[in-house]
């Protein structure tokens, strides 16, 4: 990175954006960035339902600001990025953390459910990256952190759509790094394992996953028994 790029970052307040900040990894990352001097936009799909985030932004004396971004909606993403650039004129760090897991045998998962899984976990991150890259290229500096998972490296049964979305995100990230490093931009992959968060509470079960005549029923029951009482991947 050039000295100019270093000076650009050091002389001004840095700006970070973290998607999926209503709880868990996203919320903790937003707070950590704010504590370290970043003006942090903690993004959530619905501000009205994000009480923990709102309480945090109101009660702590931190440069932490809640913002609404639905990563499944390109217009929402572009409007939010435009708002941030209008207010701060820059974006230095983006953390793509928004995501969830679809549980169930692939055969029992509808195409609409599979597409929705990719829409959030893969295309949501892609939409955010396309929106911020022009600014980062102009700055000649940027850090994009894509929160993948251990499930982006190793696959387990009954998470096929989830694993597919995370494997896809990893391939996209690795290819992009070759393209953007010339502009002082780094694409960083994070692959958490088991994390104590609300991720488990937000799991979505495939609509046909628990039908009594499913050929996978016995295996599903055994898998659920093994997972009972444990936290899942982020």
Q: Domain residues of the chain, as ranges?
A: 3-227
Going through 24-106 in order, the beta strands assigned E by DSSP cover: 39-44, 64-68, 93-96, 102-103
Q: Which neighbouring-strand residues pair with 204?
A: 102
DSSP label of 74: H
**CA-CA distance, 223 to 158, in Å (whole number)?**
9
The DSSP bridge pattern shows strands 64-68 and 204-205 to be unpaired
pTM (2 decimals)? Answer: 0.84
Asked if residue 137 lies in contact with residue 185, where contact means CB atoms within 8 angstroms, the answer is yes
Strands 15-18, 39-44: pairing kind: parallel
Query: Rounded CA gap, 54 and 116, in Å?
Result: 27
> If you classify domain 3-227 with CATH, what class do you get?
alpha beta
Residues 6+ apart with CB under 8 A from 35: 62
Q: 18: which strand partners? A: 42, 95
Contact between 114 and 152 under an 8 Å Cβ cutoff? The reply is no
Please list the residues that pair with 95 across neighbouring strands: 18, 145
Question: Looking at the annotation, which residues are catalytic?
Answer: 162
Q: What phi and psi values does residue 195 have, to the nearest 5 degrees?
A: -130, 135
**pLDDT tens digits in sequence order for the chain, 234 residues long:** 344 444 444 557 899 999 999 888 999 999 999 999 999 999 999 887 777 777 777 666 889 999 999 999 999 999 999 999 999 999 999 999 999 999 889 998 999 999 999 999 999 999 999 999 999 999 999 999 999 998 889 998 889 999 999 999 999 999 999 999 999 999 999 998 766 555 555 667 777 766 777 777 776 666 665 555 544 444
């Amino acid at each position: 990175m050039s000295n100019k790029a270093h000076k650009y970052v050091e002389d001004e307040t840095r700006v970070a954006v973290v998607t999926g900040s209503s709880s868990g990894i996203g919320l903790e990352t937003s707070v950590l960035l704010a504590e370290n001097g970043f003006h942090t936009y903690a993004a959530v799909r619905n501000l009205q339902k994000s009480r923990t985030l709102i309480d945090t932004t109101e009660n702590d004396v931190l440069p932490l600001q809640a913002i609404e971004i639905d990563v499944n909606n390109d217009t929402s993403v572009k409007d939010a990025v435009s708002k941030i650039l209008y207010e701060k004129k820059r974006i230095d760090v983006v953390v793509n953390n928004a995501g969830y897991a679809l549980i169930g045998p692939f055969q029992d998962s509808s195409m609409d459910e599979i597409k929705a899984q990719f829409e959030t976990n893969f295309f949501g991150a892609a939409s955010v990256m396309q929106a911020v890259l022009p600014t980062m290229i102009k700055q000649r500096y940027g850090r994009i952190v894509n929160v993948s998972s251990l499930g982006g490296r190793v696959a387990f049964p009954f998470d096929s759509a989830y694993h597919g979305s995370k494997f896809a995100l990893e391939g996209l990230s690795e290819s992009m790094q070759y393209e953007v490093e010339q502009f002082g931009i780094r694409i960083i992959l994070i692959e958490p394992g088991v994390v104590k968060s609300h991720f488990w509470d937000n799991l979505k079960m495939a609509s046909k996953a628990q039908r009594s005549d499913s050929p996978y029923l016995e295996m599903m029951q055994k898998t659920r028994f093994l997972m009972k009482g444990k936290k899942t991947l982020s």
